[in-house]
Structure 1
Amino acid sequence: MPTPPSIGAIRVLTGSYTPDSGGDGTGVAALLLDPTTGRMKYDDQVKPLPVSGASFLAVHPSLDVVYSTNETETGTVSVVAHDGDGNLSPLGDPVSSGGTNPCHLTVHPGGEWLLTANYGSDAAPGTVAVHRLAADGRLLEPTDLVVHQGSGPVTGRQEGSHAHQVLVDPAGRFVLATDLGADAVITYRLDTRTGTLERAAVNPMRAGSGPRHLVFAPGGDLVFSADELSSTVTCHRYDVTDGTLTALSAVPATVARDVVNQPGGIVASPCGRFVWVTNRGADTIAAFRLAGTTLEPLGEVPAGGTWPRGLTLAAGHLLVANQHSGTLAALRVLDDGTLDQPHPPLTAPSVVCALAL
């Protein structure tokens, strides 16, 4: 007999690489997280949905709809509906993402536009695409596609542009897109009548840093970047009037010196005092305290597996998607910003991201 969800349990969706995208995961799966204890279990009342290459998930701001990248060379986006019981179902067929290897997406706060970052490939540059959304959340026609240009000094990673993340600033005024290959963050204005992007600023990052993901501090005036290729975390001043970034300070993402390390996911606390980052290579989660505009290391804890990629905050816990070991860990956030792991991680083959509903 199926086990009923715990009272107060939080529903969590995970995304994983599937056999057709180089992994052995199921696509999108449903879990339950106990917010008090941090225990996780699969929701045995909800069947996984075989979404190809589900490497990033984003929720619609007002509908019971989730969007998933299908990270393959062909590049598509899937729409997943979920009902009150947590059941998952496809909402229409996958739609072209406007590029190859889509790796990140977000819904504009108004709920009418989906923005997707396509990493690209050796032969294709990174792109950012915009799709119109129907009233029920379905993907409609693409309304814009911008092609990134540029390169960097790191051989094998920066011969061309690689869009890695696209997000909307807290005021909803600008769209920021990181480009790991070009060492830049590009700021756009989104015309919410036509769904077109206008370039507002190009923010150069340190050469060879490879900016992967950004996160805003709650006040919106500071932005933190996980710099994949330099293994650093940088604090930037954000100008809300023109969307420009100014680097203020940078710290190593890990104290480990005997491994090649690549920071991945980055999260800021709702109180604005702490920042956490995943370290792929060191296989840790590093905690930092914000002191003015400088990040002070608070220490690192094991990630609960190898190659921690996705990181998300849910009910006082950081959910860590460990891609290579196929484990999902729930790390409890303590009052001082440090972390502990009260329970063993959950087996989740080729897991790369998690999303709390």
Structure 2
Amino acid sequence: MAAHAYIGSFTTAGGLGIAAARVDPGTGALTVLGHTADVPNPSFLTASADGRTLYAVSETAPEGSAAAFSLADPAAPRIIGEPVPVRGGAPTHLALHRGHLITANYSAPAGVTVLPVRPDGGLGESRSVLLHEGGGPNAQRQEGPHAHAVLPDPADRWLLSADLGTDSVRVCELDTKSGELEIERELGLRSGIGPRHLTFHPDGGLLYVMNELDSVITVCRFDAATGSLRPLDEVRVLPDGAAGENFPSELVVSPDGRFAWAANRGHDSIAVLGVSGNGERLELLDTVDCGGAWPRHLTLDPSGTRLYAANEHSGGVAWFDVDPDNGIPKQVGTLELPAVSCVLFV
């Protein structure tokens, strides 16, 4: 069980920046130990495999940045050097891939930035930016490209990116010598669907695309040898008759691949999905209250038995015990924090 969690938030909306919290192994409760606001709007976080370095986007426009933090003192993340510009607007997501930090930049110039990771864990100047092109039918949300997420495949060979504006998922290969990303495949999804986030099934052969503009998950077969994607199915994350606007944000899958959970912003719920057919079929089983408003992020603790929701608008992280038999989360606690956007266990 991870001893610490790190909570990103929007400083421009009153957030603390990055809060470090102790995790109670028995109850899952979070206790804030300290925080840093060295970069504005650290809305998404990731960490090195050895747990020594934390990485954050700084979601600002017209140009955002990324920063590295030492976790030598887990209660007090310390920035390494200066934030590094990503040469793109409003980076919303990031991932480590083959010795580099990759960011997805939502606003113009939208695309994917490659930053080298130095031996000390710090970041070097950007090596390349792969600009996205295109748009979609939603005039308000798809007037141009909006890269929203980046994710390496389980073998760390391919780099996948979801673009909400172009209704597509790109599969790229990184040249580690030049730092350039080359698009090998681009999967066009249904027009107006708005892909936001990406999650692999534990077996690595299926990719789930969480679509923000139509409240559905697209299930895709993934070929690790060629990087190709083939859509298989779509599954709604709202119950029949649900009213009002809804913008799903995050999707997580249980370590055993039996259940998945999606965050519904607007409906303010967590969709519980059963997974069958070796991951090819998803079925909406239930929705439960998210414990707040506007759940921007979901994550499981390392044990896979507790689910955490970062509720941005109500300002807090809610945690849930997950029933191992039916996958239903039951809320057991909340930590009040303003404008939260991401929870990461290290």
TM-score over 0.5 for the pair: yes
Q: Which amino acid aligns with 1:192?
A: T
Give yes or no for contact 2:185–2:227 (8 Å, CA) kept in 1: yes
1:264 and 2:253 equivalent? no
Give yes or no for contact 1:9–1:34 (8 Å, CA) kept in 2: no
Q: Which amino acid aligns with 1:300?
A: T
CA shift for structure 1 position 173:
1.2
Q: Which amino acid aligns with 2:76?
A: N
Could you give the per-residue CA deviations for residues 279-319 of structure 1, whole angstroms, max 9, x where no partner exists? 00100011111121110112111101000011111032111
Distance 1:203 1:118, change over 3 A: same
CA shift for structure 1 position 337:
4.4
Distance 1:102 1:222, change over 3 A: same
CA distance in 2, matches of 1:350, 1:207: 31
CA shift for structure 1 position 126:
1.4
Structure 1 residue corresponding to 2:261, chosen from 276, 279, 285: 276
Give yes or no for contact 1:27–1:50 (8 Å, CA) kept in 2: yes
- Structure 1, unaligned runs of 5 or more: 1-7
The SS at the match of 1:161 is coil
Question: How do 1:10-29 and structure 2 match up within 5 A?
Answer: 10-19=3-12, 23-29=13-19
Question: How do 1:131-150 and structure 2 match up within 5 A?
Answer: 131-150=115-134
Give the aligned partner of residue 113 of structure 1: 100
User: Mean alpha-carbon deviation: is it higher for 284-293 or for 330-339?
Assistant: 330-339
CA distance in 1, matches of 2:338, 2:213: 26
> What is the TM-score when the length of structure 2 is the normalising length?
0.95
User: Mean alpha-carbon deviation: is it higher for 262-271 or for 33-42?
Assistant: 33-42
Give yes or no for contact 2:307–2:329 (8 Å, CA) kept in 1: no
Give the aligned partner of residue 53 of structure 2: 65
CA shift for structure 1 position 49:
4.0
Question: How do 1:184-195 and structure 2 match up within 5 A?
Answer: 184-195=168-179
1:100 and 2:93 equivalent? no
Structure 1 residue corresponding to 2:288, chosen from 282, 286, 301: 301
Give yes or no for contact 2:18–2:35 (8 Å, CA) kept in 1: no
CA distance in 2, matches of 1:193, 1:212: 29
Q: Which amino acid aligns with 1:307?
A: W
Say what the alpha-carbon RMSD is for the aligned residues: 1.5
1:129 and 2:116 equivalent? no
1:35 and 2:38 equivalent? no
Aligned length, in residue pairs? 340
CA distance in 1, matches of 2:54, 2:213: 30
- Structure 2, unaligned runs of 5 or more: none
Distance 1:16 1:47, change over 3 A: closer
> What is the TM-score when the length of structure 1 is the normalising length?
0.92
CA distance in 1, matches of 2:230, 2:124: 36
Give yes or no for contact 2:297–2:310 (8 Å, CA) kept in 1: yes
CA distance in 1, matches of 2:112, 2:133: 12
Structure 2 residue corresponding to 1:161, chosen from 117, 124, 145: 145
Give the aligned partner of residue 42 of structure 2: 54
The SS at the match of 1:343 is strand
Seq. identity, %: 39
1:312 and 2:312 equivalent? no
CA distance in 2, matches of 1:134, 1:337: 44
Could you give the per-residue CA deviations for residues 117-141 of structure 1, whole angstroms, max 9, x where no partner exists? 0001xxx241101011110111112
CA distance in 1, matches of 2:74, 2:329: 31
Give yes or no for contact 2:23–2:29 (8 Å, CA) kept in 1: yes
Could you give the per-residue CA deviations for residues 77-126 of structure 1, whole angstroms, max 9, x where no partner exists? 12111124432111111110120000000111x4x211010001xxx241
Give the aligned partner of residue 195 of structure 2: 211
CA distance in 2, matches of 1:263, 1:253: 8
Give yes or no for contact 2:16–2:35 (8 Å, CA) kept in 1: no
CA shift for structure 1 position 324:
0.3
Give yes or no for contact 1:287–1:337 (8 Å, CA) kept in 2: no
